[in-house]
Amino acid sequence: MLKYIIRRLIQAIPTFFGITLFTYLLLWLAPGSVVERLYLAPNIKAETRERLAKQLGINDPFHIQYLRWLAGDDWLRWDTDGDGISDAAFTPLVPLDEDDDGIPEPPGDNYGILRGDFGRSFVKKQPVMDIFLANLPATLELGIAAVVTALAIGIPVGVLSAVTRGRAFDNISRVLAVIFDAIPNFWLGYILLAIFGVWLKIAPIGGRCVVNLYGTCPPLFERLIYLVLPTVVLAAGFVALFSRYVRTSTLEVLSEDYIRTARAKGLAPQVVNFRHAMRNAMIPVATLLGPIITNVWAGAIVIETVFAWPGVGRIAYNAAVQQDYPVVMGIVIFASLGTILGFLLSDILYVLIDPRIRID
């Protein structure tokens, strides 16, 4: 197993670099100029803008800009006067206006995303890594709650739908699965907010919590009411997906010989259905967990925006609207890493769910 995991991680390296190349290319082709985005102000002259563009390396070839963003700029440095200090360098980090004179000071070193430095936010003037880590707990809280809810509801519903094939429960569950799979998340979110937040006034209309005196959120059990509606909206599509896949897989398993043998031995129906059939019907669920992680990132952008949830998704949406390129690129890279690890987790779960599968 360990060798397989290491081999898969090595195989994921070209995928990761391909994602970084494609991400940087898309933003490089985006209209507008980084200089205009950062330094458009009445007291900055045209020659100052040109000088800043040279300092940022905006006019450099694409491959130079990409490699600088990827690995840093120290490989481009050289010591021009022989004093042991590299004084000629491209420095593409966001310059800060330390003295508030309207002209940013020369930018500092860029250490590259491979070194864990994703640059500074154009808007917040903070390191992208700090912004990401500050908002990651909220997204993980919402994502884990949605996935656990989807598994806890979708799997039993799928099994019961297969066991009661053609009956009322099966027909109703299939219709509801199609409905919730087709409803847009943002529409469902606004409808639930209008019903439970505005009309009934039994749920908050947004936010994650009421901040305490220490400036932090109270424990989770004291603010569950804030988590209910976002979790329901994010999990609705996952419940529909899990139930449909589990139903189809369970129907195939129920026709196997060992299921008929278990019934002939006189085992209770719940034992046959939920202990023998359900475990073998779980393989499609393992297949779905990889894409589900990607869908959690994508769905969080919509859900966190609708419910004003202070997570990575909301930060990504605001950064895209504000053209905060370092934040957008950083979040895309983190999401790609999560997707790669999610598909690796799916392969590992195959072995845990079905002992007949062996990884050489």
Give the pLDDT confidence of 11-23 residue by residue, as tens digits.
888 988 998 999 8
Taking each continuous run of H as one helix and of E as one strand, the counts in the chain are: 14, 0
- Contact (Cβ atoms closer than 8 angstroms) between residue 24 and residue 329: yes
Tell me what the mean pLDDT of segment 199-212 comes to. 86
User: Can you give the pTM of this predicted structure?
Assistant: 0.79
Categorize the per-residue pLDDT at 189 as very low, low, confident or very high, splitting at 50, 70 and 90: very high
The backbone torsions φ and ψ at residue 199, rounded to the nearest 5 degrees and listed phi first, read: -80, -55
- Contact (Cβ atoms closer than 8 angstroms) between residue 154 and residue 240: yes
Q: What is the mean pLDDT of the chain?
A: 80
pLDDT at 261: 85
Give the pLDDT confidence of 272-299 residue by residue, as tens digits.
877 777 777 777 777 777 778 778 877 8
Give the pLDDT confidence of 325-357 residue by residue, as tens digits.
889 889 989 888 888 888 888 777 777 766 666
Tell me what the mean pLDDT of segment 289-310 comes to. 84
The backbone torsions φ and ψ at residue 88, rounded to the nearest 5 degrees and listed phi first, read: -115, 110
CATH of 128-353, picked from 3.40.50.300, 1.10.3720.10, 3.40.50.20, 1.10.645.10, is 1.10.3720.10
The C-alpha torsion from 347 through 351 and 356 to 358, rounded to 10°, is 70
Does the pLDDT at position 262 exceed 80? yes
For 186, half-sphere exposure in the C-beta direction (CA atoms, 13 angstrom radius) is 6
CB-count burial class (<10 Å; 0-12, 13-18, 19+) for 357: exposed
Query: Cα Rg for the chain, rounded, in angstroms?
Result: 26
Tell me what the mean pLDDT of segment 172-186 comes to. 91
The pair of structure tokens assigned to 187 is: 């529409």
What are the extents of the domains in the chain? Answer: 32-115, 128-353
Categorize the per-residue pLDDT at 44 as very low, low, confident or very high, splitting at 50, 70 and 90: low
Cα dihedral sign, 264-266-267-273:
positive
